């Protein structure tokens, strides 16, 4: 969008702590709360989920109809202004951004606290249509603005990666009742890697940054050392409550890796190398939930202020004594659970591979195992950049090795367009109880122009994960209330035909030589004058 | 099969061979314009002479001052002095005894003995003492420049009000402030008056952790402290007299008010912000000793002085920008110039022409045209399309063309020369 040059004038009022006490009345409809959930996992690791919620009570998303005119002033206390500017500039109703590193192990870790655990970056947004800018123009602006805000390469999620998979991504909040419809835009960038440069701007969006409260545990040295880590930002609108911004950070740490005695004991010190020394004064609630092991002996220090349903809860804002460090200890050494006796944590087991040695063709194989004793219907979504194209007619499905009809229904397929549109393949799979469904499809790999190749070192092309969403029991409705929790497969890597970039000039010279040779030969033949040379008889002698 | 005499085969005849060679040359010659068109960069011709002509002009803005008739002759010396001073700054002063018809209004001086009182376009002055007349008028009409403090012109400013708590965990912090009332009461009236020059977007936030990089002393901040206040060594700070609550300006960037609790009232803070904002936007304070009795915060004299200054600056810098574009395009041969650039330049030139045309008639119109001119000129200058082929050098092209064309064209040339020689020999033999 064309904008006039703008200069930012800052006016700052600074308060230096002095003698008197000044606590102005909390006037606004803004509310900030923070929460940390810690969950010991059965493979000895520990999952932590930080979530920071800010409510803007009574606020509504900006209507796209008002985009041409001046917006109302934004005055916030705890709501992040930098994010608010972006949301209003592009009239975004709902937004979900996640950036993760590593592969979430559903089999051992169960469902994550925040569902968006796709490797790399994933962004999806619901935006109303109408006004002077199209949804695609605003989606492009939104990507660029978020790139700037989070120091990530989200801007490269261009139209070649943007899809609109309506069956899989339903709004988590409410959509305002505007004259124009709301449209979904989704893009994923599996090669994006989350690191410190993304965490720093993330922390700046928090009212207490990482100075106090639960956020003071966010120590980049330990977060990015974890086996799996990821951050996400969510913006939703609840008709009854207003706009909610939820920023969260998840990590899976491995205490066994650092322990010399095969113990999975953990504490804030061992996980984050920090402790909570101060409360965040603007947080209306600040809680730490620790999931308590069900059938094992353990000790938790200090003891939680309340424990209910297998969860011990610490309330930082109420307790007289601030539990700066929490530690959980087990009396015995950790024995890795062997065998398949353990109860499945998620209903599906997924496997997805890209096979085929040639650089032109391949084969996509997906194995979905239904672990439940009942039939399960799942939404299956594949989004592929145009680099890999499906031969959709070769799609076949078998159940435990036998052909089976009626497994795949409600197929929607948007074939890719070179250099402009990715593939979107959505279908509903009906999985018989306790069985494995194998899907397979032939794919072709694109032959790229030399300018299509990335400038960085060649390691192949990352392909986004497939997504499976179980539908609730027997429900045929595909709206927000019948979808279960999303499950992502790991990403894939595809090797495309890659030229030797070191010798373009040699190639030019060689090609030109051949061309000139052919041209010269043809030209000579066309213009050559043949004459008969009579040799004298004397010469013969 | 018996061998045939080659000269009897139809394609071995001289005419056919010459036609073949000629057709190659015809195709090459016909293809040249196409090749030229597809490989050249779009470079529209810019109105260079018009730009140079425009850039050599200097804008002059007239100011009419009406004196009481009886003093028109007695103050001749002051009038000349003022005209001389203002002339250097691009302002022409005309003194009259009566009212002049025209849309560019007149400032009126009145004789009164109760000091310097300013209202609307009138100034009460004690003509018994002529000595200060030219200084006062010069400060009112063309206030001394505050140099680097004033933010460069922009059609839109984003005003960001931030309340910073040094450390809110100490239990001693301000959770929120009534920023809307402060802005409504102290800032909006100023912005309304300046709406001719700028549009404003206002926003505010509160920060609960903003540690200082130094330890402040109880009462005062020294100028050394100020230099590290914003944790950035790049901002040069101007030393201004500090007051309680302490406040200072960061030139072209913003202002800071340091407040010590116990109580925060926007009535303490926002008048200072308003003053800082005026300095940053270039509204000069009234000269010492001048009293202002109007009901709007910025007096007509100050506002119009600012409008004149911004007009002169904008006109000058858009002329400079246009000249730079022309020079740059002349210097860099590989730089494309598209229609959007050319249109912006032509529109900027038209706006500049209108600036000169309206300068003696209406100040407001002149301001509007000069802001249009600078916006258009900057947009042309920063047009991203002009960078497109800058880094694709001609040598690269030759390196690609030479291996193909040189080797292909040499046989064509050789055949043509050979055939030409043969044809001449044939003619000589015939004659």
Map residue B130 onto helix, strand or coil: helix
Compute the residue count for chain B: 431
Is B169 within 8 Å of chain A by CB?
A: yes
Q: Do A10 and B165 touch (CB under 8 A)?
A: no
Map residue B84 onto helix, strand or coil: helix
Q: Do A207 and B208 touch (CB under 8 A)?
A: yes
The torsion angles phi and psi of A182, rounded to 5 degrees, stand at -95, 140
Q: Do A76 and B261 touch (CB under 8 A)?
A: no
Look at A141 and B249; give whichever has higher pLDDT: A141
Residue-level pLDDT at B391 = 57
Alpha-helical (H) ranges within A373-478 are none
- Cα–Cα distances (Å) from B289 to A400, B42, B116, in that order, read 97, 61, 7
State pLDDT tens for residues B256-270: 888 776 677 888 889
Map residue B98 onto helix, strand or coil: coil
Q: Which A positions 275-294 lie with beta carbon below 8 A of chain B? A: 278-282
Q: What's the rounded Cα separation, in Å, for the pair B201 and B157?
A: 6
- Copy the structure tokens of residue A401: 């090795």
Map residue A497 onto helix, strand or coil: coil
* Residue B138 C-beta-side C-alpha neighbours within 13 Å: 20
Q: Do A8 and B20 touch (CB under 8 A)?
A: no
**Which residue in chain A is spatially nearest to B12 when comparing CA positions?**
A529
Q: Which of B155, B178, B212 sits opposite A4 (nearest CB)?
A: B155
Q: Shortest Cα distance from A70 to chain B (angstroms)?
A: 8
Q: Which A positions 383-412 lie with beta carbon below 8 A of chain B? A: none
User: Which residues does A72 contact at the CB level (< 8 Å), separation at least 6?
Assistant: none
* Residue A96 C-beta-side C-alpha neighbours within 13 Å: 20
Helix (H) or strand (E) holding A377, with range, is strand A376-384
Query: Which residues of A are less than 8 Å from B12 in CB distance?
Result: 529-530
B152, B169, B232: which to substitute to probe chain A, counting the most A Cβ within 10 Å?
B169
- Looking at every residue in chain B, the average pLDDT score rounds to 83
Residue-level pLDDT at B109 = 86
**Which residue in chain B is spatially nearest to A203 when comparing CA positions?**
B209
Is A261 within 8 Å of chain B by CB?
A: no
Q: What's the rounded Cα separation, in Å, for the pair B238 and B425?
A: 90
Q: What is the pTM of this model?
A: 0.84
Residue with token string 């703008």: A6
Q: Which residues pair with B292 in a beta bridge?
A: B118
Residue-level pLDDT at B100 = 63
Helix axes B14-39, A504-527, angle to 10 degrees: 150
Q: What's the rounded Cα separation, in Å, for the pair A127 and A86?
A: 13
Is B205 within 8 Å of chain A by CB?
A: yes
Q: Which of B159, B378, B411 sits opposite A9 (nearest CB)?
A: B159
Among B197, B143, B154, which residue's Cα sits nearest to residue B307?
Answer: B197
Q: Which A positions 140-169 lie with beta carbon below 8 A of chain B? A: none
Is A520 within 8 Å of chain B by CB?
A: yes
State pLDDT tens for residues B379-398: 999 998 887 655 566 777 77
**Which residue in chain A is spatially nearest to B410 when comparing CA positions?**
A520
Q: Which residues pair with B94 in a beta bridge?
A: B64
Question: How many Cβ contacts (< 8 angstroms) between chains A and B?
Answer: 232
Q: Do A71 and B201 touch (CB under 8 A)?
A: yes
Q: Do B203 and A15 touch (CB under 8 A)?
A: no
Q: What's the rounded Cα separation, in Å, for the pair A159 and A153?
A: 14
> What burial letters (b/e) apply to B200-224, b meaning 16+ CB within 10 Å?
bbbbbbbbbbbebeeebeeeebeee
- Copy the structure tokens of residue B245: 């609550």
Q: What's the rounded Cα separation, in Å, for the pair A172 and A175?
A: 9
Q: Which of A17, A19, A512 sits opposite B403 (nearest CB)?
A: A512
A2, A5, A13: which to substitute to probe chain B, counting the most B Cβ within 10 Å?
A13
Name the pairing type of β-strands A283-291 and A228-238: unpaired
DSSP secondary structure of A22-73: ------SSEEEEEEEEEEE-TTS-EEEEEEEEEEEET--PPPGGGTTSPPPP
Q: Shortest Cα distance from B279 to chain A (angstroms)?
A: 12
Residue-level pLDDT at A482 = 59
Is A8 within 8 Å of chain B by CB?
A: yes
Identity of the highest mean pLDDT range in A464-478, B2-16, B133-147: B133-147
Phi-psi category of residue B317: left, alpha or beta, with phi > 0 → left and psi -120 to 50 → alpha: alpha
Q: Do A12 and B162 touch (CB under 8 A)?
A: yes
Secondary structure of B361-375 as H, E, C letters = CCHHHHHHHHHHHHH
State pLDDT tens for residues B370-384: 999 999 999 999 998
* A494 contacts A461 by C-beta, under 8 angstroms: yes
Q: What's the rounded Cα separation, in Å, for the pair B370 and A384?
A: 52
Residue with token string 């002393």: B217
User: Which residues does B147 contact at the CB level (< 8 Å), separation at least 6?
Assistant: none
Q: Do A77 and B206 touch (CB under 8 A)?
A: yes
User: Which residues does A139 contact at the CB level (< 8 Å), separation at least 6?
Assistant: A90, A125, A127, A162, A185
Is A88 within 8 Å of chain B by CB?
A: no
DSSP label at A227? S
Q: Do B209 and A519 touch (CB under 8 A)?
A: no
Q: What's the rounded Cα separation, in Å, for the pair B158 and A81?
A: 13
The torsion angles phi and psi of B422, rounded to 5 degrees, stand at -60, -40
**Which residue in chain A is spatially nearest to B268 when comparing CA positions?**
A13
Q: Shortest Cα distance from B361 to chain A (angstroms)?
A: 28
Q: What is the full per-residue pLDDT of chain A (541 aa) written as tens digits?
A: 333 444 556 666 655 543 333 333 334 589 999 999 999 998 899 999 999 999 999 899 999 999 888 888 889 989 999 999 999 999 999 999 999 999 999 989 999 999 999 999 999 999 999 889 999 999 999 999 999 999 999 988 889 999 999 989 989 999 999 999 999 999 999 999 898 999 999 999 999 888 889 999 999 999 999 999 999 999 999 999 999 999 999 999 999 988 888 889 999 999 999 999 888 989 999 999 999 988 888 999 888 888 888 899 998 887 666 777 899 999 888 888 776 567 888 999 999 999 988 889 999 999 999 998 888 889 999 999 999 999 999 999 999 888 888 899 889 999 999 999 999 999 999 999 999 999 999 999 999 887 788 877 778 899 999 999 998 754 444 444 457 889 999 999 998 888 777 777 788 888 888 988 999 899 988 888 887 787 876 655 4
State pLDDT tens for residues A325-338: 899 999 888 888 77
Among B344, B150, B370, B387, which residue's Cα sits nearest to residue B251?
Answer: B150
Report angle CA A342, A492, A467 to the nearest 5 degrees. Answer: 60
Residue with token string 């934004």: A74
């Amino acid at each position: 969008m064309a904008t006039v040059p703008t200069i930012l004038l800052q006016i700052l009022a600074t308060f230096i702590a002095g003698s008197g006490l000044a606590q102005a009345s909390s006037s606004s409809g803004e509310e900030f709360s923070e929460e940390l959930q810690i969950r010991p996992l059965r493979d000895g690791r520990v999952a932590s989920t930080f979530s920071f919620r800010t409510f803007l009570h009574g606020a509504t998303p900006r209507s796209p109809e008002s985009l041409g005119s001046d917006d109302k002033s934004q005055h916030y206390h705890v709501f992040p202004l930098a994010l608010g500017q972006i949301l209003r500039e592009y009239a975004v109703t709902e937004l979900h951004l996640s950036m993760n590193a590593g592969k979430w192990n559903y089999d051992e870790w169960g469902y994550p606290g925040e569902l968006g655990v796709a490797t790399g970056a994933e962004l999806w947004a619901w935006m109303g249509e109408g006004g002077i800018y199209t949804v695609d123009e605003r989606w492009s602006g939104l990507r660029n603005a978020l790139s700037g805000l989070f120091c990530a390469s989200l801007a490269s999620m261009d139209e070649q990666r943007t899809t609109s998979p309506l069956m899989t991504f339903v709004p988590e909040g409410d959509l305002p009742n505007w004259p124009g419809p709301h449209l979904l835009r989704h893009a994923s960038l599996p090669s994006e890697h989350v690191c410190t440069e993304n965490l720093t701007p993330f922390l700046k969006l928090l009212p207490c940054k990482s100075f106090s409260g639960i956020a003071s545990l966010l120590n980049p040295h330990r977060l990015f050392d974890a086996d799996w880590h990821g951050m996400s930002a969510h913006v939703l609108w609840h008709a009854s409550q207003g706009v909610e911004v939820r920023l969260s950070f998840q990590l899976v740490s491995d205490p066994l890796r650092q322990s010399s005695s095969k113990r999975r004991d953990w504490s804030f010190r061992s996980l984050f190398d920090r402790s909570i020394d101060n409360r965040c004064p603007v947080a209306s609630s600040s809680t730490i939930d620790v999931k308590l092991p069900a059938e094992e002996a353990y000790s938790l220090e200090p003891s939680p202020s309340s424990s209910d349903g297998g969860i011990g809860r610490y309330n930082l804002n109420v307790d007289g004594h601030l539990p700066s460090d929490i530690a959980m200890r087990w009396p015995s050494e950790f024995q890795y659970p062997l065998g398949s006796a353990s109860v499945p944590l998620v209903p599906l087991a997924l496997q997805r591979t890209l096979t085929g040695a040639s650089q032109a063709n391949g084969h996509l194989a997906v194995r979905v195992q239904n672990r439940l004793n009942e039939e399960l219907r799942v939404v299956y979504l594949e989004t592929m950049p145009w680099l890999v194209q499906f031969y959709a007619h070769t799609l076949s499905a078998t159940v435990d090795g036998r052909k089976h009809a009626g497994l795949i229904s409600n197929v929607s397929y948007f074939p890719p367009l070179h250099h402009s549109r990715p593939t979107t393949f959505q279908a509903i799979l009906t999985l018989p109880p306790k069985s494995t469904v194998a899907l397979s499809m032939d794919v072709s790999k694109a032959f790229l122009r030399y300018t299509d190749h990335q400038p960085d070192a060649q390691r192949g092309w990352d392909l986004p994960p497939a997504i499976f969403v179980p539908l609730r029991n027997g429900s045929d409705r595909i709206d927000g209330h019948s979808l279960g929790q999303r499950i992502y497969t790991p990403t894939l890597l595809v090797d495309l035909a890659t030229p030797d970039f070191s010798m373009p000039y040699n190639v030019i010279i060689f090609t030109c030589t051949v061309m000139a040779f052919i041209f010269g030969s043809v030209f000579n033949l066309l213009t050559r004058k043949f004459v008969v040379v009579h040799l004298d008889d004397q010469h013969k002698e | 099969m018996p061998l045939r005499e080659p000269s009897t085969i139809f394609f071995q005849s001289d005419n056919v061979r010459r036609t073949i060679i000629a057709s190659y040359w015809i195709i090459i010659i016909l293809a040249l314009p196409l090749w030229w068109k597809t490989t050249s960069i779009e470079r529209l011709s810019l109105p260079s002479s018009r730009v140079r002509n425009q850039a050599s002009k200097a804008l002059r803005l007239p100011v009419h001052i009406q004196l009481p008739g009886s003093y028109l002759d007695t103050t001749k010396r002051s009038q000349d002095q003022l005209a001389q001073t203002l002339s250097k700054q691009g302002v022409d002063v005309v003194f009259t005894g009566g009212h002049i018809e025209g849309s560019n209004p007149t400032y009126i001086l009145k004789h009164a003995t109760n000091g310097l009182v300013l209202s609307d376009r009138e100034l009460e002055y004690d003509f018994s003492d002529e000595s200060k007349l030219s200084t006062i008028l010069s400060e009112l009409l063309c206030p001394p420049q505050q140099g680097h403090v004033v933010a460069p012109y922009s059609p839109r400013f984003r005003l960001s009000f931030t309340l910073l708590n040094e450390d809110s965990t100490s239990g001693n912090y301000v959770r929120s402030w009534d920023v809307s009332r402060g802005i409504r009461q102290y800032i909006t009236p100023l912005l309304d008056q300046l709406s001719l020059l700028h549009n404003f977007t206002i926003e505010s936030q509160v920060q609960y952790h903003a540690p200082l990089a130094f330890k402040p002393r109880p009462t005062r901040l020294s100028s050394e402290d100020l230099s590290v206040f914003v944790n950035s060594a790049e901002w040069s700070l101007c030393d201004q007299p500090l007051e309680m609550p302490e406040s200072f300006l960061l030139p072209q960037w913003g202002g800071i008010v340091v407040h010590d609790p116990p109580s925060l009232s926007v009535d303490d803070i926002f008048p200072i912000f308003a003053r800082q904002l005026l300095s940053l936007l270039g509204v000069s304070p009234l000269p010492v000793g001048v009293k202002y009795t109007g009901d709007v915060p910025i007096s007509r004299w100050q506002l119009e002085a600012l409008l004149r200054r911004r007009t002169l600056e904008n006109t000058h810098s858009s002329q400079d920008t246009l000249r730079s574009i022309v020079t740059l395009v002349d210097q860099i041969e590989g730089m494309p110039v598209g229609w959007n650039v050319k249109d912006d330049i032509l529109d900027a030139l038209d706006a500049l022409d209108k600036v000169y045309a309206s300068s003696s008639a209406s100040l407001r119109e002149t301001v509007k045209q000069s802001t249009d001119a600078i916006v258009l000129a900057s947009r042309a200058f920063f047009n991203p399309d002009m960078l497109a082929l800058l880094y694709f050098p001609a040598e690269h092209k030759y390196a690609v063309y030479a291996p193909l064309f040189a080797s292909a064209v040499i046989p064509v040339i050789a055949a043509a020369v050979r055939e030409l020689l043969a044809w001449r020999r044939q003619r000589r033999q015939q004659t």
